[in-house]
Structure 1
Amino acid sequence: MCLVGEFVAANAPDDGMLHEQQLSSRWKAPSAGLYKLNSDAAFQGMRMGIGGILRDEEGVTVVVYCSTKNGKFDVAVGEPIAMRSSLKTIMEAGYRNFILETDNISLFHHLKKASTPPCYFGSLVKDILTLASRCKRCDFSFVKRSGNFVAHSLAKLSFSFSEYRVWLEEYPHYYI
């Protein structure tokens, strides 16, 4: 059922516009007044690492986040779990004006089209859209894996911690 939903969403008419930012291979700062949240997941045995980083219009790091979840996770659900967790964290820190950027093209397309297929992936997309609706402004962006390096590094770094970590002022500079 989920595959049928993804097929229908992938073949739905698009607005015909693919912006350069959506196909970028390197990270770019958001426009004035916005923040950009990048998130990613990494996998190690029966654990999933989650990393998130929020940066401002000058590229200055504002919030850094690391966490792990125990269990066997598929990559398809790891990415939206990472985005949802990172989004919750920055919203708890008081941010409501941002761009959510991912290196997962399927997640990006589902968010852009507000498509929630009837499966676990779809329920995660729905959670993200619900959280995003509580924000003043929340846009979605795609960047190739090379442009999401910092978030991926943070996801891998999370395996060295036994608990949830959030940095608001000081953060592990060697990863950023």
Structure 2
Amino acid sequence: MCLVGEFEEANASADGVLQEQHLSSKWKAPAASLYKLNTDAAFQGQRLGIGGILRDEEGAAVVVYCSTENGRVNVAVGEAFAIRASLKTAMAAGFRNFILETDNIRLFHHLKKSFISPCYFGNLVKDILILASSCQSCDFSFGRKSGNFVAHSLAKLSFSFSDYRVWLEEYPPKYQGALRNDIESLVI
């Protein structure tokens, strides 16, 4: 049933969802009073690495997160795991005004259209939508992989830890250059 739903979705028109957004290869800051949560997943054997970074309108890191899950999953499921875990972490830190950005087009379309397919991936999408509905403001955004470098790096970094890691208003020093590049691109 999940495959049939995916087939129908792939063959349906996109309703201009991506045409509404300017697809940049650089990270874009959210509007004032919003936070942008970029997430990504990385894969290593039977482990899934999850990374997320919540930034304010100036590009400053507010919450940085990484963890791992055991088990082999497909890319879309891994990306959905990453958004759900990162959203829970950001909400636990007290944030409720988000733009959730993913570089996975399938996940983006499911979230933007509130499409819940009858499979495990659909259950993760449903969880994310329920969490998002408890926020003051939550919108979904698609960004190219090149604009999601920091989150992807955090997902890969998660394999070097044995537990869940969260940094509040700071980040692993090794990513200072990548964050600075994102902030400098805001001025250009």
Where on the TM-score scale, by shorter chain, does this alignment land: which range? over 0.9
Give the whole-Å Cα distance in 2 for the aligned partners of 1:61 and 1:95: 13
Secondary structure at 1:162 match in 2: coil
The one-letter code matched in structure 2 to 1:169 is E
Shift of 1:55: 0.2
Deviation at 1:12, TM superposition (A): 4.2
Measure the CA separation in 2 of the matches of 1:140 and 1:173. 28
Aligned to 2:74: 74
Q: Which residue of 1 aligns with 2:28?
A: 28
Which is further off, 4-13 or 120-129? 4-13
**1:9–1:115 CA contact under 8 A, matched in 2:** no
Rounded Cα–Cα distance in structure 1 between residues aligned with 2:15 and 2:33: 26
The answer to whether residue 109 in structure 2 is matched with residue 112 in structure 1 is no
The gaps in structure 2 that reach 5 residues or longer are 180-188
Work out the CA distance in 2 between the residues paired with 1:89 and 1:142.
20
Residues 42 and 155 of structure 2 are in contact (CA less than 8 Å); yes or no, is this contact kept in structure 1? yes
Asked whether the equivalents of residues 24 and 142 of structure 1 are also in contact (C-alpha less than 8 Å), the reply is: no
SS in 1 for 2:129: helix
What's the offset of the Cα at 1:11? 4.1
* Structure 1 unaligned blocks of 5 or more: none
Alignment of 1:41-80 (within 5 A): 41-80=41-80
Distance 1:171 1:81 in 2: 21
User: d(CA) in 2 for partners of 1:28 and 1:85?
Assistant: 22
Q: Structure 2: how far apart are the matches of 1:13 and 1:74?
A: 24
Pairing of 1:1-176 with structure 2 (within 5 A): 1-12=1-12, 14-16=14-16, 18-21=19-22, 23-175=23-175, 176=179
Percent of paired sites with the same residue: 74
Residue identity opposite 1:19 in structure 2: E
TM-score (norm 2): 0.88
